[in-house]
């Protein structure tokens, strides 16, 4: 397995779209106009964990460049959607804690955690924030050279109807299965959000240093660090 650092600076000046698996991603996924814009191949797309269910990269025989799947969490291997990840034609990046599985991760890249705490980002260090996959993906997009970054599904909360993930809106037969217990209680997950928010504050400083704009495309998100915009405003920016 090679280190992710071979990608640093590869997408200088590009727009990045980072997809978490929060419930608000479903609204974007169902908006045909927006989804076509996202999938037109002009933006770097970084997806975290089960957000792979919103994409058909396992059917895509094209160039894997500009498409990245990233995960901090080796529990990903305990979900039925893990098979989609293995088949996906994209760049795949996992944390170095996955190295014990390297025999089954042919072609994957890995990253090491930053040596500092979550609330500090050394602008020159070539490692990634490590508290969870979304901060890692944001750190990665800044190191790739992207100049505008849009966050989707970065909710850090349940939806109004109690859902934690966008795929809970799918028909039951289309929802992923846990091959082994892999989903933490929401209270456990919520504790990680506190560390994520520490990382976001540090990453905002990193973005300001690199003169990068970061937008959170869910006005109801509990991630308060970045400027929030609606999906309509997102389309206006892209137009």
> Tens digits of per-residue pLDDT, 181-207?
666 666 666 777 888 999 999 999 999
Q: What pLDDT is attached to residue 185?
A: 66
| Long-range contacts of 24-28, Cβ-Cβ distance < 8 Å, separation of 24 or more | 24/152, 24/153, 24/155, 24/159, 24/166, 24/217, 24/218, 24/220, 24/221, 25/51, 25/54, 25/152, 25/153, 25/166, 26/166, 26/167, 26/169, 27/231, 28/152, 28/153, 28/217, 28/231
| Higher-pLDDT residue of 40, 71 | 71
Interatomic CA distance for residues 185 and 194, integer angstroms: 15
| Higher-pLDDT residue of 61, 133 | 133
Q: Which CATH number fits the domain 2-238, given the four candidates 3.30.160, 3.90.1480, 3.40.50, 3.40.720?
A: 3.90.1480
* Average pLDDT along the chain: 92
Enumerate the domain spans of the chain. 2-238
Q: How confident is the model at residue 82 (pLDDT cuts 50, 70, 90)?
A: very high
Q: What pLDDT is attached to residue 199?
A: 95
């Amino acid at each position: 397995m090679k280190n992710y650092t071979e990608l640093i600076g590869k997408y200088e000046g590009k727009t990045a779209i980072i997809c978490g698996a929060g419930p608000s991603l479903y609204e974007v996924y169902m908006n045909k106009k927006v989804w076509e814009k996202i999938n037109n191949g002009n933006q770097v797309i970084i997806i975290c964990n089960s957000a792979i269910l919103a994409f058909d990269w396992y059917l895509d025989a094209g160039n894997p460049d500009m498409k990245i799947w990233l995960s901090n969490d080796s529990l990903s291997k305990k979900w039925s959607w893990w098979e989609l990840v293995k088949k996906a034609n994209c760049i795949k990046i996992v944390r170095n804690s996955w190295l014990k599985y390297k025999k089954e991760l042919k072609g994957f890249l890995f990253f090491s955690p930053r040596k500092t705490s979550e609330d500090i980002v050394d602008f020159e260090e070539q490692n990634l924030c490590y508290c969870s996959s979304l901060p890692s993906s944001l750190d990665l997009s800044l190191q790739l050279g992207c100049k505008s970054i849009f966050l989707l599904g970065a909710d850090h909360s349940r939806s109004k109807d109690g859902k934690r993930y966008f795929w809970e809106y799918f028909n039951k037969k289309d929802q992923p299965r846990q091959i082994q217990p892999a989903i933490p209680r929401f209270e456990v997950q919520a504790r990680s959000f506190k560390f994520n928010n520490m990382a976001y504050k540090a990453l905002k400083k990193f973005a300001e240093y690199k003169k990068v704009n970061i937008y959170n495309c869910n006005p109801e998100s509990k991630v308060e660090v970045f400027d929030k915009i609606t999906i309509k405003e997102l389309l206006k920016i892209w137009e």
